[in-house]
Amino acid sequence: MLENYFPVLLFIIIALLIGVLPLALGGLIGPNRPDDKKNSPYECGFEAFEDARMKFDVRFYLVAILFILFDLEIAFLFPWAIVLKEIGTFGFVSMMIFLAILVVGFIYEWMKGALEWE
């Protein structure tokens, strides 16, 4: 019974070797010459001028969430476009209703000023 699982075990061992062996060899053979520049935090070429835990404006998060929301809803259009001939009129009408709801939501957010940065 266990001999049926030998290929799986072999696959796991080879995968671990492929993943761990290059890292171990790089750590052992690679040069290690740390200095102050290499160990300093990278901040786009200049010294940090504020705390890394500074607060972001809530509008940044709102725009990001709205982008993800509308982007994911638009992703539903691709499968619909591929099977448009098979789903017929019912599928077309249901997608137009979906798009109408999407447009109403977009206009609502636009009128509320959620997409305004300043």
Show me where the domains of the chain are located.
Answer: 4-112
pLDDT at 42: 67
Verdict on whether the full-model pTM lies above 0.75: no
pLDDT at 109: 83
Q: How many whole angstroms separate alpha carbon 86 and alpha carbon 113?
A: 40
pLDDT at 7: 93
pLDDT at 29: 94
Is 4-112 assigned to CATH 1.20.58.1610?
A: yes
Exposure string (b/e) for 35-71, b if CB count within 10 Å is 16 or more?
A: eeeeeeeeeeeeeeeeeeeeeeeeeeeebeeeeeeee
The more confident residue out of 17 and 117 is 17
Mean pLDDT, the chain, rounded, equals 84
Q: What is the pLDDT of residues 79-92, one digit of tens each?
A: 888 998 898 899 89
Q: Which of 13-17, 29-33, 74-78 has the highest mean pLDDT?
A: 13-17
- Is the confidence at residue 93, as pLDDT, over 80? yes
Residue 17 pLDDT class (50, 70, 90 cuts): very high
